[in-house]
Amino acid sequence: MVADLTGIFIFAVTGALVAVRKRFDVFGIAALAEITALGGGIFRDLVIGDVPPAAFRDMGYFITPLVAAALVYFLHPAVRRIGGAVQVVDAAGLALFSVSGTVKAAVWGIEPFHAAAIGVATAVGGGVLRDLLAGEIPSLLRRDREMYALPSVLAAGIVAVLLRSGLLGPVSSGAAMLAAFALRLLALRYGWRGPLAWKGEEAAETAGGREPGPRPRTG
């Protein structure tokens, strides 16, 4: 419970910061914090049939994003200055929800590899909704951002394999979280991004209706 609320708080901070950058009013800041923090978990619970979702059964899930939104509303310049620390804790939340979302889906009878897909959606779903509501291309689809979804896929995939082989336990699930956490931090540190389509720029030019080749001169 404490770990869940910690992850929810950090995700809510990232949502509120986006709302401040987009110049949303106080309601918009609170709404984007709530959606970012809870969107993935609500999606998971609806898909697996755990209704009403946990976010609507426990006031802690609802109040925590509001606390984060209030913090950002009054202290957003200071929060921005510790952006590096926020990213580290966000990476931990990503890893945690990738694993816990996969495990919960499996407990509710979902086949392990389908459960892994639900685990990834749990971890990244709120961020996708945040970006769409803020009028941006979701971060996990943009190559100019460090890889975000791939660490989640790694953790959820490891859990699925462990579930299928009957080896999932506290230590092995912790190792899955650590793998995703480490990959996300390395991506932030070294600017790692997901690979483009095969032959990258050439493929992009062809898809855009142009034959690959020298660019024409202008002027």
AA letter at 37 = A
98 with 22: CB under 8 angstroms? Answer: no
pLDDT score recorded for residue 219: 42
Residue 159 has phi, psi (to 5 degrees) of: -65, -40
Separation between Cα atoms, residue 42 and residue 45, nearest integer Å: 5
Neighbours of 105 (CB within 10 A): 29
User: Looking at the whole model, is its pTM more than 0.75?
Assistant: yes
Residue indicated by tokens 């996969």: 102
Q: Is the pLDDT of residue 84 over 90?
A: no
Average pLDDT for 108-135: 95
Separation between Cα atoms, residue 25 and residue 205, nearest integer Å: 41
pLDDT score recorded for residue 104: 94
Structure tokens at 122: 């749990």
pLDDT score recorded for residue 195: 78
* 3-class state of residue 216 by DSSP: coil
Neighbours of 37 (CB within 10 A): 31
* Helix, strand, coil share of the chain (percent; to 5): 75, 0, 25
Q: Is the pLDDT of residue 32 over 90?
A: yes
Lowest mean pLDDT among 48-52, 78-82, 189-193: 78-82
Q: Where are the domains of the chain?
A: 2-197
Greater confidence (206 vs 21) lies with: 21
pLDDT score recorded for residue 120: 96
Greater confidence (45 vs 84) lies with: 45
48 with 27: CB under 8 angstroms? Answer: no
The reply to whether omega before 112 is within 30° of 0 (cis) is no
Residue count (the chain): 219
Distance (Å) of CA 100 to CA 21, 44, 174, 200: 31, 11, 10, 35
